[in-house]
Structure 1
Amino acid sequence: MSNLVTPDLLKSRLKDLPALPAVVAELITSIGNDTVTSDDIAAKLSKDLALSAKTLRMANSSFYGMSRQIETIQEAVTVLGLRTVRNLVIAGGLTSWFTPPASTDFNFHAFWRHAIGTALCGQALAQEIDMDADMGFTVGLLHDIGQMTLSCCFPDEYTQVLLHRQTHDCMLIDAELAVLGTDHAAIGGQIAEHWRFSPVVVEAIAHHHAPAMHHGPGLVGLTHMADALSHGLGLSGLEDEYVPITPPAIWAAMSPKPDAFMQLFAKVENQFECVCQALQI
């Protein structure tokens, strides 16, 4: 029996995934839209009380060091800023999106720790090289969404992928291609397109493992670098973590100065466990 994941087969299996929370999908598509207001976010969150409560819990976490309790979403926006709250809602919504199936061997805890690490690396790196830090955070959080899709929609096949990776001591993306005929980056791009994310987000997710210069050293390069940095810092907690090879042209285009790199590493490591704790990862 073939393990190939064809577009038609993927489409038929997507029904196994729960719908992305509407407020999360809307906020992701609103990135770069300066017309979004705190009232818009509060109105959207009022329809999802669980996510609203999680957002406030994160806003009151030690990461932000508030001297007083934040009681409402509007207050959180006033104190923390609209962009920060939008990132909190997106992170909170994605990390509580669904319960992993019992049949999978995929390590969801490590997956989310790496995703949070990549989001923080993307945010910090974007700030250093004068790119959109919010976009860096969000795409970092989303970049491996194809792994989750494959592990949930194709649990038996993905178990074979994980076994192939272990047996051949190779990168996960190479094991996916060998077993499934596709990989999580391509699948992630299809999912992002299915959710109607902006073309730049779709491209960054789909090409984060192959940031060829014809895509430009922009968001694709930033996502690739953030992924590599998160792997390099070992934030997932996995013992067999691999660091993807960064093309020299992307490294030259996206790297800050050496001393800024050290500050970036320290910043991300100082933030990481606090953010994971707030998100209950």
Structure 2
Amino acid sequence: MHLAQELVAGQHQLASLPDIYYKIREALNNPDTGVPELANLISIEPALSATLLQIANSAFYGFPRKIETLSRAISLIGFDQVGEVVLAGTLASAFQGIRPQRMDMQRFWRGSIRRALLNRQFARNLALRDPERSFITGLLADMGHLVMYRAVPDLMGIVLELPASGMADLADKERSIIGCDFCEVGAALAARWHLPASISIPIGAQLDPAEAGEMAEDAARLSLAVSVAEVLASGEAVSAGCPLVHEDAATLSGVDLALLPVFAEHCEEQLDSVMHSLGLHH
């Protein structure tokens, strides 16, 4: 883990989120914050305001009338989803200029949004209290690779030249050649951003959910989201028997695998709209 923290610390553009993100998170966590106060805070950042309005008017939400004000957008979307949009929009704008060699950023963002949408659907289906956290965990699950492609591009090049049969095998090769894997680096990045352990620990344990201890169920749902996103990225059909990153993810997650095709269909219906709203289509 020490090496993972060093890789994160060395990437200054990635090692911290803009101050506005923390201000908005603080406001969202304050029970006294109302819609007007939140709208005033978000309006300081024109790009974030535009993103929020775009998403409110996208097919992702499907509101019948055009939403023209931040206050209206926040009221309709809800504070939880505003938190998702703020983080996704912040990441999209902060990392827009990052183009690591060998890394297909379009594929990276599509995978990130897929995992976020799937992980949130799992949480909602199980009626869990905080689906926003599941969205953020899914969104950040592969951020470790963004750091690694920038910090040690030559070593990642060596990793890529080796045949790998899935994410777990890829992580093994990363540990062998680099000394840490993308899960460890992603967990270190989330911790560096002062995100709660309920986000960083599942990211670190996404390939072996039992390693998350009390958060094993969260890690298992993330692992399942990673598995389904990989199948979708390959263009194959998702089924209850689709290959899993870790075999224990199915039972630990509590998710009904028979519903995976439905979750996958909903994810794909929303994907392009979310990508477009966040300015991630090129």
Q: Settle same-fold status: TM greater than 0.5.
A: yes
Worse-matched range after superposition: 188-197 or 81-90? 81-90
The answer to whether residue 91 in structure 2 is matched with residue 91 in structure 1 is no
1:137 aligns with 2:128: no
Do structure 1's residue 112 and structure 2's residue 109 form an aligned pair?
yes
**What pairs with 1:50-69 in structure 2 (closer than 5 Å)?**
50-69=47-66
- Name the CA shift for 1:9/1:78 in 2 (closer, same or farther; >3 Å): closer
| Counterpart residue identity of residue 189, structure 1 | A
Please give the alpha-carbon distance, in whole angstroms, between the structure 2 residues aligned to 1:243 and 1:257: 15
Give the number of aligned pairs: 271
The amino acid across from 2:246 in the alignment is T
The residue aligned with 1:257 is 256
Aligned partners of 1:86, 1:12: CA distance in 2, in Å? 25
**Normalising by the residue count of structure 2, what TM-score does the alignment of the two structures yield?**
0.83
Aligned to 1:218: 217
Letter in 1 for 2:270: Q
- 1:231 Cα offset (Å): 1.4
RMSD: 3.0
Q: Distance in 1 between matches of 2:43 and 2:277?
A: 21
Identify the residue that residue 183 of structure 1 maps to in structure 2: 181
Contact 1:192 1:201 in 2 (8 A): yes
For the pair 1:207 / 2:232, whether they are aligned, the reply is no
Structure 1 residues 244 and 97: alpha-carbon distance in aligned structure 2, compared to 1, 3 A threshold: farther
Deviation at residue 138 of structure 1 after TM alignment: 1.0
Instruction: Flag structure 1 segments of 5+ consecutive residues without an equivalent.
Output: none
Give 1:277's aligned residue.
276
Q: Report the Cα distance in structure 2 between the residues aligned to 1:129 and 1:172, rounded to whole angstroms.
A: 30
Question: Could you tell me how far apart the structure 2 residues matched to 1:235 and 1:118 are?
Answer: 14
- Shift of the 201–28 alpha-carbon distance from structure 1 to 2, 3 Å rule, reads farther
**How is 1:141-152 mapped onto 2 (pairs within 5 angstroms)?**
141-152=139-150
CA contact 1:188–1:206 (8 Å) conserved in 2:
yes
Kindly state the Cα deviation for residue 215 of structure 1 after the two structures are TM-superposed. 3.9
CA contact (8 A) 1:143 1:188 kept: yes
Instruction: Tell me if 1:124 matches 2:121.
Output: yes
What letter is aligned with 1:228? S
Distance 2:225 2:32 in 1: 28
Q: Is the 8 A contact 1:55 1:88 kept in 2?
A: yes
Query: Separation in 2 of the partners of 1:28 and 1:157?
Result: 36
Between the aligned partners of 2:177 and 2:101, the Cα distance in structure 1 is 16
**8 Å Cα contact 2:224-2:245 kept in structure 1:** no
Q: TM-score, normalised by structure 1?
A: 0.83
Distance 1:116 1:28, change over 3 A: farther
Q: What amino acid maps onto 1:257 in structure 2?
A: D
